[in-house]
Amino acid sequence: MKYYTLGAGQNALHVSQCCLGTMTWGEQNTEAEAHAQLSLAVERGVNLIDVAELYPVPPKQSTQGETERIVGSWLKADPSRRAKVVIATKVASRSPGPRLAHIVHTRTYPPGTPPQTELALTRPQILAACEGSLERLGIDCIDLYQLHWPDRSTNMFDTRAYKRSAERPAFTPFDETVGAIGELLAAGKVKQWGISNENAVGVCKLLESCAKLGVQSPVTIQNDFSVLHRRVEEDGTVEACSPVHSAVTPNGILLLAYGALAGGTLSGKYRRDADGSLVTSAKRARHVLFPAFQPRYFSGASIETAEKLCVLAAKYALTPAQLALLWAAGRDYVGSVIIGATSVAQLEENIAAFELPKLTAEQEAEVDAACDRMFTPYYSRVGEYKHIKEV
């Protein structure tokens, strides 16, 4: 397992290139299954564990916060485990509609805080969300605290077309958000901080506020990234995070890549049947259980491109998942690749990818060629497959 450093000084974090994702824990995975994954991952050298106050997904009031609690119960069972892991979690932000409104009421507010009715990255809510996460995790300091998505209205997740009419003028000022993070850093409740689902505009604005307020800069950006979806390379985000513009560390702001397997599509477990329908032999597969969640991952173009990559994986004596993970890990601006598994067997296969040699230049060129034939697969023929059948 390869490791790298986030931040500097006494609060620098020594982090594994493979990060264990957790968003299925408490929904698709039981507490016992999650604990087994944690123990195996740490045994194999993985030390970065990524959670969120929102998790598990799909988000709902009855399960919100369960993932953090599950990680906390694993830590509590053996206190020596805390020193072996780097805990990263996230604070949820403003969301259109009432779908996530319940989260605002699960945060730990100090006495006298005015009533909070809408999620936002305001000072009171960030401080209270951090306290709630600390309580559920059963720890006194979060190693890496991340803003889960922007407070302002901007393109992210399944959105492609930008509409000025959808802009939200009254979003939380960047200075207020950064100032709250600065308080958590100064209080020793957070060691480093990061951002997520951001773009070049957000990166630059946040760095401006850091410089203005004297708050240390974020060290990571967690965005959707895979061989099928390279938006961060195309929209200036990776450049904005470069040490040329963000002298946080010699590495700048590093990418924590989620979605490297496109929700399992790049593992090859979904295939087109003779009648043109999409099928899988996998049990409890995410896209079977929740077809309305992250449909970009199994668009018609994504499935077609994944089939081509399966052929290349066989040529290289790799599993399709290992090829996709090796490709993502090979970018020089990537810190860690987040893996998510619903079984120990999947987890073992995924971790093994980080113990393999890097892809050669020739292999990367072949992978690029296979994907370049299909422009932006995530947004091409979305909805072609309304559901996936188990066979």
Give CA–CA dist 169/189, Å, rounded: 31
Q: Phi first, then psi: what are they for 254, rounded to 5°?
A: -90, 150
In contact, 19 and 50? CB cutoff 8 Å: yes
pLDDT of residue 135: 98
Collapsing DSSP states into helix, strand and coil, what is residue 222?
Answer: strand
Mean pLDDT of the region 140-155 = 95
pLDDT of residue 383: 64
Give CA–CA dist 141/188, Å, rounded: 7
What average pLDDT is seen over the chain?
Answer: 91
Q: Position of tokens 């929904």?
A: 27
pLDDT at residue 152 tops 80:
yes
pLDDT of residue 283: 65
Collapsing DSSP states into helix, strand and coil, what is residue 142?
Answer: strand
Residue 326: strand pairing partners: none
Q: Phi first, then psi: what are they for 286, rounded to 5°?
A: -55, -45
In contact, 350 and 41? CB cutoff 8 Å: no
DSSP symbol at 25: B
pLDDT of residue 362: 98
pLDDT of residue 96: 66
pLDDT of residue 275: 78
**CA-wise closest residue to 330 among 244, 237, 260, 246:** 260
Dihedral (CA of 102, 191, 140, 56) sign: positive
pLDDT of residue 375: 56
Statement: the pTM of the whole predicted model exceeds 0.85: yes
Select which of 4, 55, 109, 270 is catalytic: 55
For 52, the token pair is 């969120």
pLDDT of residue 160: 73
Residue-level length of the chain:
391
| Model pLDDT for residues 234-266, shown as the tens digit of each residue | 899 999 999 987 666 677 999 999 999 998 999
**CA-wise closest residue to 190 among 55, 88, 50:** 88
Mean pLDDT of the region 144-156 = 93
Give Rg (Cα) of the chain: 20
| Model pLDDT for residues 317-370, shown as the tens digit of each residue | 999 999 999 999 999 999 999 999 999 999 999 999 999 999 999 999 999 999
pLDDT of residue 269: 87
Give the domain ranges of the chain: 3-264+321-357
For 311, the token pair is 């052929």
Give CA–CA dist 344/349, Å, rounded: 9
Mean pLDDT of the region 380-387 = 60
Using a pLDDT cut of 90, give the percent of the chain over it.
Answer: 72
Q: Is the CATH number 3.40.50.720 carried by domain 3-264+321-357?
A: no
Please give the span between the terminal C-alpha atoms of the chain, in angstroms, as a whole number. Answer: 36
Mean pLDDT of the region 209-229 = 96
The packing angle between helices 300-315 and 320-329, to 10°, is: 90
Residue 194: strand pairing partners: 146, 220
pLDDT at residue 231 tops 70:
yes
pLDDT of residue 104: 94
pLDDT at residue 292 tops 70:
no
**CA-wise closest residue to 99 among 293, 326, 231, 333:** 293
For 242, the token pair is 């470069």
In contact, 271 and 279? CB cutoff 8 Å: yes
pLDDT at residue 66 tops 90:
yes
Other Cβ atoms closer than 10 A to 301: 21
pLDDT of residue 158: 67
pLDDT-based confidence at 286, cuts 50/70/90?
A: low
pLDDT of residue 301: 83
Mean pLDDT of the region 56-65 = 95
Give catalytic status of residue 55 as yes or no.
yes
Strands 270-272 and 278-280: antiparallel
pLDDT-based confidence at 282, cuts 50/70/90?
A: low
Is the previous residue joined to 56 through a cis bond, with omega within 30 degrees of 0? Answer: yes
Q: Phi first, then psi: what are they for 14, rounded to 5°?
A: -95, 110
- Residue 8, amino acid: A
